[in-house]
Amino acid sequence: MNSEGRQGLLVLYASQTGNAIDVAERVGREAERGGCPSVEVFSMDAFDASCLSKEQIVVFVVSTTGQGDNPPAMKVFWKFLLQRNLSHHWLEGLHYAVFGLGDSGYQKYNFTAKKLDKRLMDLGAEPIIEKGLGDDQHPSGYEGALDPWLFSLWRKLNQMNSMVLPRVSDIYDTSRKTLGHPKYQITYHCSNDLQSDFSSTSGSYQFQDLNGFDKIVTRARSMSSVPQHIGDSMQHCSLRMVTNMPLTKHDPNRDVRHFEFEFLSSRCQYQVGDVLEILPTQNTVAVDAFIKRCDLDPDCYITVQPNANKKESFEPHLNAFASPIKLKTFVALTMDINSASPRRFFFEVMSFYAAAEHEKEKLQYFTSSEGRDDLYQYNQKERRTVLEALEDFPSVQIPFEWLVQLVPPLRTRAFSISSSPLAHPNQVHLTVSVVSWTTPYKRKRRGLCSFWLAGLDPHDNRENFVPAWIHRGSLHPPPPSLPLILIGPGTGCAPFRAFVEERAAQRESGPTAPILFFFGCRNQESDFLYKNFWLYEAQKGVLSAEKGGGFFVAFSRDQPSKIYVQHKMKEQSGRIWSLLISGAAIYLSGSSTKMPADVTSALEEIIADETSSSKDSAARWLKRLERAGKFQIEAWS
């Protein structure tokens, strides 16, 4: 998209899970409601960054991913902004506001929003208000910060230019709320001449052959709002599960599995440190219940296209000329109807279609500022699904055009690959914790993808295809000559199983550098993942003392006082420092909550003790290691 400048408001977003899209579209809706004459909403990868200097007012909405990383949609835009030939006056005349979405449980909380805000100021742009920082840890989620931030933004813009910019009184006047048009239009086709997509039995889908399977998945998702895997960074592959093996025992509340898949195409390749993204299959019972509740025809054929009134904010990847697809297939492969929670706008649209007055009043309250916290408790805290929300408001009948827009897209789930291609040609392995939890109101919830994978039977004669994509992860594959310090508690050990397998295979053809591996789990008997593998490598393989390596495991709950990986690291302070001064790299993988910060603090203490320096000095030393690419972290919530 090119720009010649505009009198009005431009909203640019970069999203990872869809939250930033939701916020950006809300900004656009409120600006239009306030009478702003020109409002355009774009993903950053659909906007030409060189045109930014022509704009007058821009609102940026950006998510932070992983350990402070930019979302994929922001990478080209950000690279342009970092050009050295851009002067400190390039963006003079631009007024902007930044809202970030992040999780304060991560070390680099809202890092993307913070660095974007700083760079825009460096280039001469003027902030309208202080950047807003949405926090998933807030009792109301990111909206706890968004609501007051938006009110301040509109009030400040009003003060700047009340003739052109949105009027606060109109934005918050509930009587002015109108629904507008959905982003999508649906075309229905005669099914007489169209071939059936697939049949479904026993809660799973059966395709005629692999080629047909790939085509249907591609066709459905090319019409979906979920970002597609485009370009060389993503490699599509189809898999068949051949091993489903429990790694834990004696603990009914903890189920970790080892999965092995065979590639169904010889073109698929990967490296250690790569990530496998899997598209989960939804239960057909839930899909059928959703279609029945929404009074839809499961056997009709449809195409989904951008609404002519909404093309300016449409996802750049969407294929407006895709072939027709059965409605049930489209729902099953693109709409997360029984796992993800709907967003606030879903309930606002529901209020327009509620036939019962008491339901309309409840929905209007939920979407008001007074009802925000109650909606968060009802919806996000309980992980209410779309299907459950619709069943709770039986008088609501939303048109399918709106449902396609409002139902959260069925997203792939990302897993660190736990195998080496040198050790397992034509296979890829995963180490997956089967997710389950209980909500505040004692509802049992299960992770959609992990629970589906755990239920697959490798010996089933039916063709169960698993759609997947491979891409580069946060951990770069190390050369055989690089000494390694690996820290991976729990399922964080997954990529390091791949690293150790790779190093063992490389050793067959030449010398390799030593590895120290620090692993942690709760109990030796219940969740010592890959116990035999680690112990073999520690006694005779690349983790053995004979090879200069070491394996150190912390069982946190096998004694009265808890022992974690950082305690084992401090016990090996001298060996860690010895490897570091010989040029070793540190790789850390696992939960994003406290573990990365605790391990980083332990490393700083080790460096300070071994060098007789301050912890601040040690922290700077570790930062230099990180900038050199020798301290890499992969963490997830």
Quick one: pLDDT at residue 69? 80
Pair (30, 95) in one structural domain = yes
Whether residue 18 is annotated as binding a ligand: the answer is: yes
Tell me what pLDDT residue 172 has. Answer: 74
CA distance 404 to 353: 16
Residue 364 within a domain: yes
Residue 593 annotated as binding site? no
Burial code (b: 16+ CB inside 10 Å, e: under 16) for 541-573 equals bbbbeebbbbbbbbbbeeeeeebbbbbbbeebb
Residue where one domain finishes, among candidates 351, 386, 406: 406
* Angle formed by the axes of helices 615-627 and 595-611, nearest 10°: 110
Is the separation of the CB atoms in 191 and 54 below 8 Å?
no
* Per-residue pLDDT at 163: 53
| Residue 512 annotated as binding site | no
Say yes or no: 172 and 205 in one domain: no
Model pTM score: 0.88
Q: Between 210-222 and 327-334, two packed helices, what is the crossing angle to 10 degrees?
A: 80
CATH number at residue 320: 1.20.990.10
**145 in a structural domain:** yes
Q: Do 495 and 626 share a domain, yes or no?
A: yes
Cα separation, 41 vs 13, in Å, equals 8
Q: Is 449 known to sit in a ligand binding site?
A: yes
CA distance 46 to 337: 28
Regarding whether 347 and 215 lie in a shared domain, the answer is: yes
203 and 166 co-located in one domain: no
The answer on whether 415 is annotated among ligand-binding residues is: yes
**414 has binding-site annotation:** yes
- Alpha-carbon distance 350 to 386, whole Å? 11
192 is in an annotated binding site: no
C-beta of residue 225 within 8 angstroms of C-beta of residue 452: no
| Residues shown for the chain | 637
305 labelled ligand-binding:
no
Q: Is 631 annotated as a binding residue?
A: no
Task: Point out which residues pair with 554 in neighbouring strands.
Answer: 520
CB 317 within 8 A of CB 228: yes
Check: CB of residue 11 under 8 Å from CB of residue 39: yes
Per-residue pLDDT tens digits for 414-465: 999 999 999 999 999 999 999 999 988 888 999 999 999 999 999 886 657 8
Q: Is 427 annotated as a binding residue?
A: no
pLDDT at 267: 73
Structural domain boundaries enclosing 380: 197-231+279-406
User: Is residue 257 annotated as involved in ligand binding?
Assistant: no
Q: 3-state SS of 302-313?
A: EEEEECCCCHHH
Question: Rounded to 5, what percent of the chain is helix, strand, coil?
Answer: 35, 20, 45
Query: Does the residue 538 lie in any domain?
Result: yes
Residue 334 lies in a domain: yes
Q: CB neighbours (10 Å) of residue 194?
A: 14
User: In this predicted structure, what is the pLDDT of residue 162?
Assistant: 55
In a domain, 376, yes or no: yes
Per-residue model confidence as pLDDT tens digits over 580-591: 999 999 999 998
Is position 148 within any domain? yes
Verify that 93 and 224 share a domain, yes or no. no
d(CA 534, CA 501): 10
Which regions of the chain are under pLDDT 70? 1-7, 66-67, 161-166, 174-176, 191-212, 226-233, 309-322, 461-463
- For residues 576 and 239, what is the distance between their CA atoms, to the nearest angstrom? 39
Ordered strands of the 515-521 beta sheet: 550-555, 515-521, 484-487, 585-591, 631-636
Query: Is the residue at 106 inside a domain?
Result: yes
| Residue 527, annotated as binding a ligand | no
163 and 202 both lie in a single domain: no
Q: Determine the Cα–Cα distance for residues 115 and 98; give it in Å rounded to an integer.
A: 10
Residue 66 among known ligand-binding residues: yes
Q: Is 565 annotated to bind ligand?
A: yes
- Give the integer Cα–Cα distance in Å for 434 and 256: 6
Regarding beta strands 275-278 and 413-416, do their DSSP bridges make them parallel or antiparallel, or are they unpaired? antiparallel
19 and 142 in a single domain? The answer is yes
620 and 509 housed in the same domain: yes
DSSP 547: G
Angle (nearest 5°) at CA 149 between 637 and 313:
75
Is 221 annotated among the ligand-binding residues? no
User: From CA 362, how far away is CA 371, in angstroms rounded?
Assistant: 9
Query: H/E/C letters for each residue in 556-594?
Result: CCCCCCCCCHHHHHHHCHHHHHHHHHCCCEEEEEEECCC
Domain final residue, candidates 376, 406, 436: 406
Residues 220 and 367 in one domain: yes
Indicate the burial class of 93 (C-beta count within 10 angstroms; 0-12, 13-18, 19 or more).
Answer: middle
CATH number, residue 611: 3.40.50.80
- Tell me which residue of 495, 505, 559 sits closest to 529, measured CA to CA: 495
Question: Do the beta carbons of residue 410 and residue 336 sit within 8 Å?
Answer: yes
Among candidates 453, 172, 169, 196, which has minimal Cα distance to 325? Answer: 196
Residue 383 labeled ligand binder = yes
Radius of gyration of the chain measured on its C-alpha atoms: 26
442: three-class secondary structure by DSSP: coil
- For 69-81, give one letter per residue: b (16+ CB within 10 A) or e: bbbbbbeebbeeb
Residues 304 and 353 in one domain: yes
Does 222 carry a binding-site annotation? no
Final residue in a domain of this structure, among 356, 372, 406: 406
Measured distance between the N- and C-terminal CA atoms of the chain, rounded to whole angstroms: 35
Q: Do the annotations mark residue 470 as ligand-binding?
A: no
Q: Is 73 annotated as a binding residue?
A: no
Residue 427 maps to a domain: no
- List the alpha helices (DSSP H) in 379-427: 386-392, 400-406
C-alpha to C-alpha distance for 148 and 144, rounded to whole angstroms: 8
Q: Is 562 annotated as a binding residue?
A: yes
Euclidean distance between CA atoms 61 and 20, whole angstroms: 6
- Residue reference for tokens 């009110």: 151
Domain check: are 65 and 165 in the same one?
A: yes
Could you tell me the CATH number of the domain that includes residue 150?
A: 3.40.50.360
Nearest to 83 by CA among 42, 133, 123: 123
> Please, what is the angle between helix 357-366 and helix 344-352, to 10°?
150
Distances (CA, A) of 391 to 229, 387, 396, 401, 413: 34, 6, 9, 19, 27
Number of domains in the chain: 3
63 assigned binding-site residue: yes
Token readout for 85 is 């030939």
The verdict on whether residue 334 carries a ligand-binding annotation is: no
